[in-house]
């Protein structure tokens, strides 16, 4: 049985195996974990060929380098699996921020909602501010919360409430994150008419 050949330049640069191993002697581990000790590279290659596997360098920094006699396809699969686990653990998440205002157009609200959905899919948390100014700051809390809930209801991704709706320096704020397990039920809100908004603002004036 012949040795596995490199199929790409990337593989050749990443993994030294068979005739690509440069050390004059190596410490050899067998396919079942056997310790064959330190062998001249020619003897190590002969042993791998005899067992019908590849000779793969697994610890280039050791003196002498450590090589394993194993199937390259299996080795490649295990390495790819480890790489995915490392990338998954190293994934960086952050808290994104989005801001909406009373009177924001339906189209702009949906554009913002779609962006928030994208952030949630990437695993980020999102802090959403309902920005209030002037007379809007004095409107009833429940009325303002209803406006924020209206926006939450159109976010095209399941989410969980991380920090409940509360007053903030900007107005009202809520923090959401990607749902794990059972999704957070979305608010079912009937949008108030613009006349209602104006009326509420006048009452607050």
Closest CA to 26 of 73, 58, 3: 58
Give the list of residues 6+ apart from residue 130 with CB closer than 8 angstroms, or none.
99, 100, 101, 102, 144, 147, 148, 151, 170, 171, 172, 173
Q: What per-residue confidence (pLDDT) applies to 131? A: 92
Distance CA 197, CA 102 (A): 8
Query: pLDDT of 46-74, one tens digit each?
Result: 999 999 999 999 999 999 999 999 998 88
User: Which residues in the chain land under pLDDT 70?
Assistant: 1-2, 6-7, 10-13, 88-92, 181-205
> In the chain, what are the domain boundaries?
9-83, 95-204
Contact predicate 110/117, CB 8 Å? no
Q: What per-residue confidence (pLDDT) applies to 203? A: 46
Class (C level, CATH) for 95-204: alpha beta
CATH fold of 9-83 reads Ubiquitin-like (UB roll) (3.10.20)
Whether 9-83 and 95-204 share one fold: the answer is no
């Amino acid at each position: 049985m012949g040795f596995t050949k490199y199929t790409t330049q990337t593989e050749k640069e990443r993994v030294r195996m068979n005739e690509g191993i440069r050390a004059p002697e190596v410490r050899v581990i067998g396919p079942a974990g056997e310790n064959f000790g330190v062998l001249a590279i020619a003897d190590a290659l002969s042993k791998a060929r005899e067992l019908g596997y590849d000779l793969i360098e697994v610890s280039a920094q050791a003196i002498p380098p450590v090589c394993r006699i194993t199937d390259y396809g299996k080795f490649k699969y295990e390495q790819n699996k480890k790489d995915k686990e490392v990338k998954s653990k190293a994934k960086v998440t952050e808290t994104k921020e989005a801001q909406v205002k009373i009177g924001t157009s339906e189209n702009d609200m949906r554009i913002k909602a779609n962006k928030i959905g994208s952030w949630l899919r990437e695993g980020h948390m999102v802090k959403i501010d309902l920005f209030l100014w002037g007379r809007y700051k004095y409107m009833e809390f429940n009325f303002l919360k209803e406006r924020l809930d209206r926006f939450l209801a159109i976010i095209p991704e399941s989410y969980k409430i991380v920090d409940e709706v509360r007053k903030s320096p900007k107005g009202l704020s809520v923090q959401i994150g990607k749902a794990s397990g059972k999704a957070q039920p979305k608010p079912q809100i009937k949008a108030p008419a613009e006349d209602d908004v104006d009326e509420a603002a006048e009452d607050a004036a």
